[in-house]
Every structure is written in C-alpha cells, then in structure tokens.
Amino acid sequence: MSLRITRTSSPQPLPPADQLGFGQYFTDHLFFADFANGSWTSGEIIPYQNFQLDPAASVLHYGQALFEGMKAFKHPNHEMYLFRPKFNAERMQKGAERLSMQAPPTDLFIEGIRELLKVDARWMPEGVGKSIYIRPTLIGTEGFLGVRPSNHFRFFVILSPVGQYYSNSSKAVKIFIEEEDLRAAPGGLGNTKAAANYAASLRAALKAKHHGYAQVLWLDTSRRFVEEVGTMNIFFRVGDEVWTPRLNGSILEGGTRACVIQLLKSYGVIVHERDVALADLQQAYENRQLKEAFGTGTAAVITPIEEISSQKIAWKFTEPSENSISQKLFKDISSIQHGLSPDRFSWLMKV
C-alpha cells in the first residue's frame, strides 16, 4: 500500500502510565483516507491536527457518522498485536450500509491502522490492563443541504493510550435501569456504531451519574426486556448457566460479547442468547439464582456489576471472587490479548 507519511516535528511527551484513564491522551499522528468520485485515496499519516470541514458537511447536519473501538497490545516479546481487526472493519461496513455511507475496504482499514501503530509505537503503554485504544471513524464530508446521502467520506483513525475505562477504582460498577429514554428501536440504528446512538444515550447517562451510577441499562420499546448498557453488552449468570440478550437488531453486535460466548462455551458453560425479561431476572434474584452480572466491551473488557437498580428493582451482587465467571473471563481474555497465554481462537494479528 502506498501510504504517505508526514512525521511531526514536535513529538509530545508521553503521559504518566499510571494515570492514563480512558481517551484522555492522543498520540502524535493520525491516519486518514478520503472517498470521492467512486474511489478511496490510498491514505495518509499526518501529525495529529484539526480537520477543515465544509460547514454544510452531511456529518454536521444529517449525522452521517460511524465509529469503531479496537485495541492493540504489547506482548512480552515487545511486538504489537491487534485484536480481531477484521471483525471491526466488517462491522463498520455493515453500519455504513445502514447509514448509506461508503465504508473503507478491509485492507485499507487494517493497513491504515497498522501503519499508524508503527509510527506511534512509542506510545504503547507497558503492563496488563494497558493498551492503545484505536478509534476508526467514518464521516460524510460533502457539503449540501438537501436530505440525501453524502458522496464524499473521510475515514480517519486516532489512537489513545489507555488504562481502565471506568474511573471508579473499585472494579465493579453500579447500573441504573432507564425506563423513560430509549437508546434504540427495531429497524433503527441500534445495531450499528452510529454516533447518533451515543447522542441518544447521554441524557440518561448524566441522570444516572448524578445518582451515583456508572451507566444505564437500556430496555426494549416495551420496557420489559433488557438490551445493553450502551458502552457494554450485558451478561447474567443464572444458576450455572449464562443469559445474554439475543441480537435482535437494536443491540450492538459486540466483539467482546462474541469472544465471551466463545470462551464460555469452551468452558462447557451453557449460554442462552435469548429475550431477557426483567421479570425473569427478578424471579431468579428472589430464588437466589441470579449470581452475577457483568458487562463486556472493547473499552470496558469484562466489568463486573455490583448493583442494578430502578424505582422498583434493587439487585445487589457479591464482590467478584476467584470463582466468579467474570473474573475467569477477564483473566482469560486479558492474558490472550497481552500474549501471556496461547491465542487459541486466532484472535490476534501482528502489527
């Protein structure tokens, strides 16, 4: 791939590795490629900088914007590995189809990310739990005002060295059930990583935060079934089996969700991808069968949940221990990602 690289003349100091948090620091460069007249440019790496955008660009008026979340990890042999990049390239392509956008082909998506990681390799933080978070983004850039799809797109990638997503130092999070706002509805954008889904989630997330909760649990349009957490897919351990909402079209098809299902099946755990009714969970809670709840996501990895509440519901979970499924999954997935145990499902790609 003939990719132009312009290196920065003023590299930034690296942030303190123990204070990375999530998405606060950006590396020295970014990758971008443009689509116009039916084809993609071969892409360019430039110093991290503002873009110039037509004020009539379709992303600003009609919300043609999609993103992905991915991570790269440093292994003990000092090589960098990407986690399931093809999955993200293909999910962006599916989302682009739904939003009438042109997605970058898989080769451009992956090679742009790999080259950018090589240029900014010095930003890779050391240690388990730390990684470079990758944010590939696609926006409509053509300027016009009639409502129609853009004919011009920009695909760009920025990198952020990260630690854990939830700033709360105790590892489990509290979740509030949102019963008024809706994140998504069947036939809508809920199963895509459209920026609009996140805009729709912000009001409820703020309200939950105000009451001491890390995130909200979204319900379906009937307000009877659990969907997802917005930054994570959700799993419940009921007895010795695991339930997670099935992909019904309004839930994000999470990459970590798929890995967790694969891992659980490899442990011999029965996983039910099903409609998960609040009433069924309440009954399981009353029968002391609702043993664990946890979220999964690229940013959140596996995050145990300590409490799920609403006006009517108050489920409390015991602290995760050695016997918790969430802990086992976290250890397993992190050690594969960091190259500390064999990549038995072929999830990794060398940068």
How many Å from the N-terminal Cα to the C-terminal Cα in the chain?
A: 15
346, exposed or middle or buried, with CB in 10 Å at 0-12, 13-18, 19+?
A: exposed
CB of 280 to ligand COI, least distance (A): 27
298 is a contact residue toward ligand COI (CB under 6 A): yes
296 is a contact residue toward ligand COI (CB under 6 A): no
313 φ/ψ sector (left φ>0, alpha ψ -120 to 50, else beta): beta
The closest of 155, 138, 145, 156 to 58, measured between CA atoms, is 145
Residue type, 342: P
The stretch among 39-47, 139-147, 179-187, 294-302 that binds ligand COI (CB under 6 A) is 294-302
Q: Which C-beta is closer to ligand COI: that of 231 or that of 309?
A: 231
Q: Which C-beta is closer to ligand COI: that of 176 or that of 285?
A: 176
CA distances from 113 to 13, 72, 190, 237 (A): 22, 10, 26, 36
299 is a contact residue toward ligand COI (CB under 6 A): yes
3-state secondary structure at position 163: coil
> What is the rounded distance in angstroms from the CA atom of residue 264 to the CA atom of residue 261?
5
Q: 223-262: which residues touch ligand COI (CB under 6 A)?
A: 231
CB of 196 to ligand COI, least distance (A): 13
192 is a contact residue toward ligand COI (CB under 6 A): no
The closest of 109, 118, 114 to 86, measured between CA atoms, is 109
Q: Which C-beta is closer to ligand COI: that of 112 or that of 255?
A: 255
Site size for ligand COI, by CB under 6 A? 5
The stretch among 8-16, 111-119, 297-305, 339-347 that binds ligand COI (CB under 6 A) is 297-305
Q: Which C-beta is closer to ligand COI: that of 123 or that of 133?
A: 133
* Residues near ligand COI, by CB under 6 A: 69, 231, 297-299
